[in-house]
Structure 1
């Protein structure tokens, strides 16, 4: 699938993989710690750790000079998953939270201020939603990517949202009418 989300999920999309990455952000390094904190079977943990090492998200490290066992830590690639975890945490706090409130609060270490919502921001600093962003075909796009992008923009943004085609200056044509978003009751 020619999709960056699909490629990312191929590496980290399995339930245990993101929980292992989360544990690394909590300072967990040893196999037995992962197993105890996650309640995961040894064989599954072994397989997930190996996969995360194979794709470059984790690396094995010596825990100490006198300790023969190896530990695990995030690589730079793994550390760059932190915003993904924060976004999932914030989404879970909003839509899956217990009546008591969130179990963990993330605050900036230097100021103690809560983190702002993770998301795409405009150049002026405004948080953008799905209807504020138009998709365009990237350099790795294919003709099928062009069709997907055009259909998405038409469905989400409506008529007139299509960028001008590169050849001929004609607007991309779509056949589906724009759908009106359903009202969602918050509660």
Structure 2
């Protein structure tokens, strides 16, 4: 008992469309997981505390800031770069300003370049871990605490890295319910 060739072709085409749709749906979380595990794409590590080892070798960390199209904030690093010893805990500040007459919530995505260094750049604390809400006219300094893992000097590719660039892009998100209510109460 064989299937009609037309029905078989239709079934195969529908199966292919369903499979491709499922792969597209799963690709973002799978890619995110892959980047966090391997450090590919500049994904960073996260730690509770600084490194136990500090080397005599130094590395320069550069800071970059951008805004998604349409995000009305102003956003910049307060320092363009800092030089520190590998394993030493660093602290940098970014400044955000809301020049509008309404509260705006934002979330920051980040990247580390070169990609080989991503898994060795470790954040201890970062404004990017949480949503940020700025009231009209509010200006804030937002810290990021980090270190470069000393294991970088033993990595086949990353050991030649002399500069790491930490980039953030802020994009607008919906105001949290409590921020929307607080904004209503101030008007």
TM-score, structure 1 as length reference: 0.22
- Flag the structure with more relative contact order, 1 or 2, with Cα contacts below 8 A and sequence separation at least 6: 2
Larger strand percent: 2
